[in-house]
Amino acid sequence: MSASPALPCSTDFVPREDLPQRIHQIVEAWVARQPGAPALREGDTVMNFGQLDAAVSEAARRFAAQGLRPGDRLLLVAENSIPVIVLALACSRLDAWLVPVNARLSQREIDTFIEHSGARLVALTTGVSADAEVHARRLGAAEVDWPGVGRFHLGAVNVAAQPEPVAESGAEQVAESGAEQVAALIYTSGTSGAPKAVMLTHRNLLFIAENGRCARRQTPADTVYAVLPLSHIYGLATMALSALNAGASLLLVPRFDPAAVAASLESGGVTILHGVPAMYAKLLEWGRRPGHRLHAPMLRIAQAGGAPLDQNFKDDFEAIFGLVLHNGYGMTEASPSIAQTRLDAPRRDCSVGPPIPGIEIRIVKDDVALAPGKVGELHVRGPGIMMGYYKAPELTRDAVDAEGWLNTGDLARQDQDGALFVVGRSKELIIRSGFNVYPIEVEQAINSHPDVVHCAVVGRSVPGNEEVVAYVELVPGCHLTPQVLTSYLHDLLSPYKIPSYIELLEHLPATATGKILKNQLRQMAAAQPQEAT
C-alpha cells in the first residue's frame, strides 16, 4: 500500500493531562494560536477559530436572554451545518444540556424526545434542512438570524421546564464522577430496541476528543469530511470534537451522497474520512459504475465504525485507494469509543483493534471471566462510560454495575495479541437446531456476492426452533434471485447457517448514520408467513 501523505506535527500525541472542564473550551487554545485558521467549512462558507469563538459567545448570550439556564435542556433538531457546532458549544458555555436529534426523524419521535427531555427550548437548523422546516412550522417556531449562526428557528420557552443540578467547576468536583456536569443527552438509535436517553458528561466527551486526536494523530493540517450526523455520538464526539480539539477543520455535509464524497476526496483536500460500513459499500458501488472513479490524493486515514465491518468492503476499499480502512468499536453509552485499530499496526482482518488507552475490558460468561479466544459478553469500564440513562435509574443499574462495568450486550472474543473481535449482539444470536449462528458471519458471506451492495441477517422464531432470515440490497440493475443467492451460499456456509428466507429490498431500512434498523427487520421477519420460506 502507498504511504500516507506526511503532515507537519508538533506533538508526540501523548494524551494531555490538562484537558479543559467543558467542551466549548477545546477551541480556546486554537483561538490563541491560530485565530485565522479554518475551523468549519460548509459549502462556500468558512468560519475560522476566532469567528467560531465569537459566534459561540454571542449565541450563549442570546440563549441566556431567551431564558436558557444552566441545567436546562436545548433540543436541537438538526442536520450537519455550522449552526449545529456553534449552538452545541454555546450550550456548553451556559452549562445547559445539548439534546441533538436528527431532523429526518418522524413527528412522533421528535415530540417524544421533547417531552421526555423536558426541553426548555427547541432550536431547528432550518437554513439547511427542509425536514427541519416542516418540524418548525408544526411546532410554531419563530425564525431568528443570529451573528455567526445565520437563519434558524427557535421555539417558545417551555416555562414548565425545570433545570437539572449543575456541577461546579474545579478539580475536586471533576474528580468526583457523581458531580460531573452533563454536556449532552443522546438518544440511542434504537436499531435493536427502543431508544434510550444517554447522559454524557463533559469529561466523557473530552476523553473521546483527546483519544481521537492521539489515535489519528490529528493536527491543524487535517480536514475531516463530516457527513456522519452530529446528532449521533460518533459524529459529535469521535468526528467533530476530536477534530476541533486538534485544531483541524471540519467540512460539514448534511447528507451522504457518494458522488459528493468522491468529489471532496479528489479535490477538497480531505485527509480524514469517517463512515459506517454501509456508506463505504455505497461509495464503492458508485465507483464501479461506468465513467466514475475514486481518487483521494490527500486522504491519509479512512475510519469505519458504528456497525460491523465486512471483510469484502475492507478488501475492496484498500485495493482501490491503496489505504488501510481502519476499524473501531463503540456505543453511545461509552461516548462512544471502546476499541480502535492502530495506525502503526494496521490489520488485514476485521478486528476492531485493542481497547483504547484508559478503557478496561473483560469477557465473561455466567459472570466468569473467559480465556483469550473464547466468545462471551463484553464488559467495559473507563472515563467514557455514561453517567446513566435519563429518568431511568433501573435501566442504568441493569447496564452498569456498582464497580462501573458497562455490559455492552455484545458478544466478543479477545485474541492473545489484545485485538478484539465483536461477533454480534447477544440478543441477536440465532440458535438454530441447537447451533449458534452469528449474523455477521452470514452477512459477510452474502456480501461477498458481486451483485450485493449490503445485507442484514436476523432471526425468526418458529415452533421449536429459530430460522435465519436475510434482507438484501442489490447493485442497481442486477437481477440476482434469492434462489441463485442461496445456491451461492452453499459453498460458503454450513447448512444450518444458510438463510431459510431471503428477501430483496430496494433499500435496507437505516438510521441517518447508515446503521441498519434490525429491530424493524425482525418485525418484518416475524410478520412474514412461514410458508413463504
pLDDT interval class at 189 (50, 70, 90): low
Residues of the chain with CATH 3.30.300.30: 429-532
Residues of the chain with CATH 3.40.50.12780: 23-343+352-414
Phi first, then psi: what are they for 203, rounded to 5°?
A: -60, -45
pLDDT of 190 reads 53
Query: Can you tell me the distance from the alpha carbon of 313 to that of 324, in angstroms, rounded to the nearest whole number?
Result: 12
Task: Residues 23-343+352-414: name the CATH superfamily.
Answer: ANL, N-terminal domain (3.40.50.12780)
DSSP assignment of 421-481, as one string?
EEEEEGGG-EEETTEEE-HHHHHHHHHTSTTEEEEEEEEEEETTEEEEEEEEEEPTT----
Residue 6 confidence (pLDDT) above 80: no
pLDDT of 41 reads 98
pLDDT interval class at 513 (50, 70, 90): confident
Query: Can you tell me the distance from the alpha carbon of 170 to that of 134, in angstroms, rounded to the nearest whole number?
Result: 43
Reduced to 3 states (helix: H, G, I; strand: E, B; else coil), residue 93 is helix
Average pLDDT value over all residues in the chain: 91
- pLDDT, mean of residues 342-369: 95
pLDDT interval class at 174 (50, 70, 90): very low
pLDDT interval class at 413 (50, 70, 90): very high
pLDDT of 3 reads 35
Lowest-pLDDT range, 68-72, 140-144, 170-174? Answer: 170-174
pLDDT of 178 reads 33
Query: Can you tell me the distance from the alpha carbon of 48 to that of 35, in angstroms, rounded to the nearest whole number?
Result: 6
pLDDT of 285 reads 93
CATH of segment(s) 429-532: 3.30.300.30
Reduced to 3 states (helix: H, G, I; strand: E, B; else coil), residue 100 is strand
| Alpha helices, DSSP H, located in 121-275 | 130-139, 171-175, 202-215, 233, 242-245, 258-267
- pLDDT, mean of residues 55-69: 98
- How much of the chain exceeds pLDDT 70, in percent? 93
